[in-house]
């Protein structure tokens, strides 16, 4: 599935490159980025709450979601950042969601997508992104290093996603300062919190850490906190919650 998503992304990127200069200009006209690293490093277990309309594994989750209203509810519950899926084909996301969320909340907004080309960085910054996700499994080390340099050039920050200890090693070697460990297997889409627990000891001190996917309860949040993660990223469970504000507050409290 990852290969299919990346192929679709590269097709979109090929068309996007023609607008690179315009995107760079547009990126200079939006408010400066907010620091994701600072938000995640605040005391307590941070929660990055996600705007997620659908996924290949879960299907339709909330196609009619009011993205800015949902993001505001998350922030009221104590979310330290908002993740917005912008991949349109497989996840039903959009940059319009990202811009609307960025305008609605005072916390950093992470563009969660499949970034393979520097033009996507400028596209995200022009839409208001404060940070972007880079996925080790989708890039070789030289591509990852080049994209990290590109992120710095835009003024944004990057959360680098790993699924194994070897991928963490790659991320850290090229200078990642925020590492997210994804508990979801990209081949089978199964989740197991033991993945992040087992990888945590291999992440060096000084790197900001995020446990991604699979946290749907206070027990899961407590496990990630006990493993030493600075924050968790919660998507589907937050979107499906009947009371997103209370749900985020409960997750934060579970990490104390």
Residues tagged active-site: 50, 52, 112, 161, 182, 212-213
The helix/strand/coil state of 10 is: helix
Residues 133, 180 contacting (CB under 8 angstroms): yes
| Helical residues (DSSP H) of the chain, grouped into ranges | 2-16, 20-27, 36-40, 67-76, 88-91, 95-104, 118-126, 141-154, 165-173, 194-199, 218-226, 236-240, 244-254
Alpha carbons 86 and 12: distance in angstroms, whole number: 12
Q: Are 208 and 230 in contact (CB under 8 A)?
A: yes
User: What stretch of H or E contains 59?
Assistant: strand 59-60
- The torsion angles phi and psi of 124, rounded to 5 degrees, stand at -65, -45
- Check if the beta carbon of residue 220 is closer than 8 Å to that of residue 252: no
Give the helix/strand (H/E) hosting 48: strand 46-51
Q: How far is CA 173 from the centre of its chain?
A: 20
What count of other Cβ atoms lies within 10 Å of the Cβ of residue 128?
20
Selection from 129, 210, 220 nearest residue 168 by Cα: 210
Which structure tokens are listed for 71?
A: 């993001």
DSSP character for 230? S
């Amino acid at each position: 599935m990852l290969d299919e998503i990346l192929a679709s992304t590269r097709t979109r990127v090929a068309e996007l490159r023609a607008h690179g200069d315009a995107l760079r200009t547009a990126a200079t006209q939006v408010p400066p980025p907010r620091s994701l690293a600072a938000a995640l490093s605040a005391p307590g277990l941070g929660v990055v709450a996600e705007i997620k309309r659908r996924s290949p594994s879960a299907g339709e989750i909330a196609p009619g979601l009011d993205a800015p209203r949902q993001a505001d509810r998350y922030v009221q519950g104590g979310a330290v950042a908002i993740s917005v899926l912008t991949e349109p084909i497989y996840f039903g996301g959009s940059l319009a969601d990202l811009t609307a969320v960025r305008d609605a909340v005072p916390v950093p907004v992470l563009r969660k997508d499949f970034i393979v080309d520097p033009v996507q960085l400028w596209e995200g910054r022009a839409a208001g992104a404060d940070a972007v996700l880079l996925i080790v499994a989708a890039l070789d080390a030289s591509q990852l290093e080049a994209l990290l340099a590109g992120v710095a050039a835009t003024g944004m920050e990057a959360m680098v996603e790993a699924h194994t200890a070897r991928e963490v090693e790659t991320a850290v070697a090229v200078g990642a300062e925020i590492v997210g460990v994804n508990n979801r297997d990209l081949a089978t889409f199964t989740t197991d919190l033991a993945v992040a627990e087992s990888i945590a000891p291999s992440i060096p001190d000084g790197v900001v850490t995020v446990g991604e996917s699979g946290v749907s309860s206070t027990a899961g949040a407590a496990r990630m906190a006990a493993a030493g993660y600075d924050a968790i990223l919660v998507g589907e469970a937050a979107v499906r919650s009947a009371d997103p504000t209370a749900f985020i507050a409960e997750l934060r409290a579970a990490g104390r």
